[in-house]
C-alpha cells in the first residue's frame, strides 16, 4: 500500500520537479510516520527526492531540528497531524506549491480525534491538488469527511480483509481473573523461549499491568503505548526486532502498518471492538508467506464481539481447552458464585464467568475441536 502512493509521487518528482513542498503525508502514529519515511528513503535512494519526518514524543531539540529542516525545504513531508500543525501555526512552512496530500489510515485518525487538525491543514493547501485517502474501514463519519475534502473521487474498494492462510488461529474461553495465568502458562510452555511473541491489549492500563506481571515472573517482556517517549518506543522496538526482548505487549498502536519480521505468535489479551482490528492484529504474524499462530482470550463479555469477528471472516475459530490448573481455578470461581447467589443474582460478585467457556454448552463446544497442531504453539502440550 505504501508503495502505491510513494512510487508514483517519486516518479512525478523525478520527471516534474517542484521548487517547494510537493507532498504532505499524514499518519496517525509516530511509528507509522517513521516507517513510511524509512520506506521513502529506500524507494528514493537513487533519486534527488528529499523528505523529512515530523512527529511528536521527543524533546525540544527535535522540534528545533524539524524547524530548520522545514525552513530549508523538502519535497515530501511525512508527519503526524498534531506535530505538523504545531509547525504550521508558527508560520515558516510554505504550502503554496503542494501537489499531493496523502491521508493514510484515515479511520484511525478519525478515532484518535485528528480530523479537526487535518481540516486545518487542508484549508491551508492549494485547491488544485491531488488528495489520496486510505482507510481500512469506511464508517459513515469517514464517508462524510471524505466528501468534504475530495472532489469527484475515484473509489477503489478491496475485499474485506481476511487473515493470511498461514495463520493458525485458536481461542481460549477464559475470564479476566485467569488471563494473566493463562498467558504465563502459554509462554512457559513454548518450545522456543526466544521466539517473538506480540501481545495486544485494548487499554494502556492492561498493557502496563500485564507487562509488569510478566517481568515479575521472570519473562523478558517490554511494552509500547502512547505514554512512552518516542525514544523509549524506538529502543523497545529495536530490542524486540533483535530478539533480545522476545515478548512485546502493545496497544493497537502496533496493529497496523508496522512491519516486524519473524513474529511467530500473536496473542489477543482481549477481543478488539472492530473485526477489522482483529485481522490487523493477527496480521503481524505469518507475513510474506510465513506461518504463525494467533490466539485470542475471550471472556464472557467479549463473546458477542468475537462472534462478529468470526462472521466477518466466514469461519469458526477453533476453541482450545484450558490448562487443568486454570480450568480448576475457573470452576472454583463458578462454584463460589453459585453458592453466593441469591434470587436475582449477587451483584457484588463480579467473577461470575468460568474460564472454560461458561457452562456446559461452552465446554462441550470447546472440547469437540482439536487443538491446532503447531510446534510453535506457545501452549505446547499443556492443558490436554
What pLDDT digit, counting tens, does each position of 214-231 carry? 999 999 999 998 888 888
Residue 198 CB neighbour total at 10 angstroms: 27
The pLDDT of residue 314: 82
pLDDT in tens, 90-127: 999 999 999 999 999 888 888 888 999 999 999 999 99
Count how many domains the chain has. 2
CA proximity to 104, closest of 33, 173, 49: 33
Task: Note if the pTM is more than 0.85.
Answer: no
Domain range enclosing 296: 167-367
Residues 287 and 353 in one domain: yes
pLDDT at 350 over 70: no
User: Taking CA 28 as the corner, what is the angle to CA 24 and CA 34, rounded to the nearest 5 degrees?
Assistant: 70
The pLDDT of residue 93: 93
Which residue has better confidence, 367 or 193? 193
Does any domain span residue 162?
A: no
Is 87:124 a contact under the CB 8 Å cutoff? no
pLDDT tier at 257, thresholds 50, 70, 90: low
pLDDT tier at 237, thresholds 50, 70, 90: very high
Mean of pLDDT over the chain: 84
Cell of 242: 533483535
The pLDDT of residue 334: 56
- Do β-strands 100-103 and 23-26 pair in parallel, antiparallel, or remain unpaired? parallel
Residues 103 and 229 in one domain: no
Residue 368 CB neighbour total at 10 angstroms: 8
Q: Which residues contact 27 (CB under 8 A, 6 or more apart)?
A: 33, 36, 55, 78, 79, 80, 104, 105
Residues 174 and 304 in one domain: yes
Residues 89 and 191 in one domain: no
Residue 131 CA to residue 99 CA, distance in Å, equals 9
Strand order in the sheet with 23-26: 51-54, 76-79, 23-26, 100-103, 130-133
β-bridge partners, 130: 100
End-to-end Cα separation, the chain, in angstroms: 42
- Residue 121 maps to which CATH number? 3.40.50.300
pLDDT in tens, 160-173: 667 888 899 999 99
Upper half-sphere CA count for residue 231 (Cβ side, 13 Å): 5
Does any domain span residue 159?
A: no
Is 232:253 a contact under the CB 8 Å cutoff? no
Residues 60 and 112 in one domain: yes
CA proximity to 202, closest of 160, 155, 249, 237: 249
Query: Among 141-150, 164-173, 205-214, 365-374, which stretch is predicted with the lowest mean pLDDT?
Result: 365-374
Amino acid at each position: 500500500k505504501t508503495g502505491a502512493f510513494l512510487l508514483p509521487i517519486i516518479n512525478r518528482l523525478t520527471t516534474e520537479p517542484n521548487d517547494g513542498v510537493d507532498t504532505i503525508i499524514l499518519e496517525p502514529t509516530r511509528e507509522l510516520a517513521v516507517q513510511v519515511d524509512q520506506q521513502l528513503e529506500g524507494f528514493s535512494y537513487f533519486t534527488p527526492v528529499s523528505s523529512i519526518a515530523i512527529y511528536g514524543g521527543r524533546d525540544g531539540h527535535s522540534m528545533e531540528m524539524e524547524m530548520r529542516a522545514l525552513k530549508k525545504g523538502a519535497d515530501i513531508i511525512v508527519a503526524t497531524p498534531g506535530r505538523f500543525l504545531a509547525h504550521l501555526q508558527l508560520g515558516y512552512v510554505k504550502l503554496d506549491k503542494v501537489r499531493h496530500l496523502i491521508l493514510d489510515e484515515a479511520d484511525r485518525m478519525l478515532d484518535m480525534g485528528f480530523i479537526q487538525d487535518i481540516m486545518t491543514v487542508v484549508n491551508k493547501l492549494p485547491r488544485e491538488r491531488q488528495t489520496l485517502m486510505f482507510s481500512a474501514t469506511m464508517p459513515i463519519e469517514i464517508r462524510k469527511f471524505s466528501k468534504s475534502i475530495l472532489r469527484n473521487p475515484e473509489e477503489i474498494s478491496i475485499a474485506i480483509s481476511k487473515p493470511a492462510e498461514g495463520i493458525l488461529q485458536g481461542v481460549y474461553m477464559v475470564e479476566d481473573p485467569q488471563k494473566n495465568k493463562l498467558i504465563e502458562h502459554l509462554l512457559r510452555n513454548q518450545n522456543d523461549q526466544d521466539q517473538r511473541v506480540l501481545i495486544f491489549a485494548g487499554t494502556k492500563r492492561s498493557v502496563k499491568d500485564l507487562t509488569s506481571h510478566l517481568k515479575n515472573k521472570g519473562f523478558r517482556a517490554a511494552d509500547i503505548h502512547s505514554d512512552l517517549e518516542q525514544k523509549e518506543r524506538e529502543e523497545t522496538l529495536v530490542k524486540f526486532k533483535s530478539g533480545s526482548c522476545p515478548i512485546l505487549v502493545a496497544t493497537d498502536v502496533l496493529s497496523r502498518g508496522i512491519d516486524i519480521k519473524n513474529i511467530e505468535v500473536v496473542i489477543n489479551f482481549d477481543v478488539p471492538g472492530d473485526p477489522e482490528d482483529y485481522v490487523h492484529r493477527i496480521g503481524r504474524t505469518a507475513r510474506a508467506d510465513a506461518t504463525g499462530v494467533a490466539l485470542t482470550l475471550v471472556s464472557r463479555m467479549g463473546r458477542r464481539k468475537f462472534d462478529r469477528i468470526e462472521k466477518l471472516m466466514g469461519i469458526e475459530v477453533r476453541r482450545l481447552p484450558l490448562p487443568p490448573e486454570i480450568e480448576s481455578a475457573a470452576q472454583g470461581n463458578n462454584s463460589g458464585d453459585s453458592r453466593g447467589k441469591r434470587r436475582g443474582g449477587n451483584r457484588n460478585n463480579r467473577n461470575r464467568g468460568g474460564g472454560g467457556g461458561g457452562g456446559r454448552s461452552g465446554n462441550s463446544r470447546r472440547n469437540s475441536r482439536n487443538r491446532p497442531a503447531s510446534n510453535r504453539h506457545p501452549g505446547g502440550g499443556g492443558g490436554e
